[in-house]
Amino acid sequence: MPPSRGVGARPAAVFGNGGAALPYSAQPRAGTRPGPKGIRVTKKQQESSGIGPIVKGILTNYEEYPSLIKVGAANQINKEIIIDVIYKLRSLIFPGFFSQKPLKPDYLVYHVGNLVEYVQYHLQKQIRRAYNQEPIDRRTLTGPETVTRVFLERLPAIRDLLATDVEAAYDGDPAAFNHDEVILSYPGIFATTVNRLAHELYLLGVPLIPRMMTEYAHGVTGIDIHPGASIGHHLFIDHGTGIVIGETTVIGNHVKIYQGVTLGALSTRGGQLLGGVKRHPTIEDHVTIYSGASILGGATVIGEGVVIGSNAFITKSIPEKTKVSVKNTELQFISNAKKDPAPESLQEEFWDWVI
């Protein structure tokens, strides 16, 4: 379950007038201006505290940037609900792993039913709000009720893929104790879980929400995977911090990616004109990409069985079963002992070395 975020919590008082506490007003009164979370500050209080000009300046600035303000927006997506839906879906994917109390077998049908009902109601409502924020010419013809149902019907298929990801993480990491450790603690599994869920909504044409989901996972794990990226089975993300995978990336099966890897675009200077253009690389099956490597460009294809060494910078296609490495640098070893300094040394290549 997600940590409590104190939805609806209100501070005890608002401070102004030299630090004196100003009490809340239970109901709006004449001559008052609404503040954050229902706080009411009267015009007289503003003047006495000297904040009147500050308020006026901020309100004037609001008028200059209307796209940065949401007032009276009935269709605003609730980010807190989207986050809650993520965790409810994770509980459906991995039942019993994240329950506050043991999940009994005879209660499983009620557990699943309650979660599906919750997700269906809240996700459908948020999808409808997302549709209403889209320009009319970009709105899908499929209603939010149908989209939500189709998405929920795809959960078994999503679970099939995630089962392969858990297996790949366990098989590929000698530090893994068991599958429970992988599911409960590996950031790569959390990021992949959220991404696979968001990707299905992306394919169904749902705006905004898939990106909100993956950016939440990005904030939690440091792994940034765009929901548009197409990813095959048995993906293994080890450590994960600093990984970036762009929207039009295509990743095959049995791919291993280590921390700090970028699968990105060569240039985004075209901005919105590049929308829909393949800007990110294609990674074929059984590819290993070690830490710090950058692979860029929509025409770049990394062939099957390729191994990319750490810190490689690649902007052209690599044929299958190739090993790519950055030329090793010369290291100079200087001893503190009173004798001749150690000679310069060229590091020996060692392809299986990872942190």
Tell me whether residue 18 is in a domain.
no
Higher pLDDT among residues 29 and 48, named by residue:
48
pLDDT digit string, tens, across residues 198-257: 999 999 999 999 999 999 999 999 999 999 999 999 999 999 999 999 999 999 999 999
Tell me whether residue 168 is in a domain.
yes
Domain span at 210: 75-224
Tell me whether residue 269 is in a domain.
no
Tell me whether residue 132 is in a domain.
yes
Distances (CA, A) of 238 to 161, 216, 241, 341, 355: 17, 19, 9, 38, 10
Per-position DSSP letters for 314-335, written without gaps between them? E-S-B-TT-EE-PPPPEEE---
* Sheet bearing 262-264, strands edge to edge: 224-225, 244-245, 262-264, 294-296, 313-314
**Cβ-proximal residues to 268 (8 Å cutoff; 6+ apart), any chain:** 274, 279
Label residue 8 exposed, middle or buried (CB < 10 Å: 0-12, 13-18, 19+).
exposed
Tell me whether residue 297 is in a domain.
no
The percent of residues above 90 in pLDDT, for the chain, comes to: 65
Query: Looking at residue 15, what is its pLDDT?
Result: 35
> C-alpha dihedral over 87, 75, 116, 196, to 10 degrees?
-50
Tell me whether residue 257 is in a domain.
no
On the CB side of 142, how many CA atoms lie within 13 Å of its CA?
Answer: 15
Looking at the DSSP bridge assignments, the partners of residue 225 are 245
Domain count, the chain: 1
Tell me whether residue 162 is in a domain.
yes
Which CATH number is 214's domain given? 1.10.3130.10
* Sheet bearing 256-257, strands edge to edge: 236-237, 256-257, 288-289, 307-308, 323-324
Reply yes or no on whether the pLDDT at 335 is more than 90: no
Tell me whether residue 45 is in a domain.
no
This prediction has a pTM of 0.80
What mean pLDDT is reported for the chain? 85
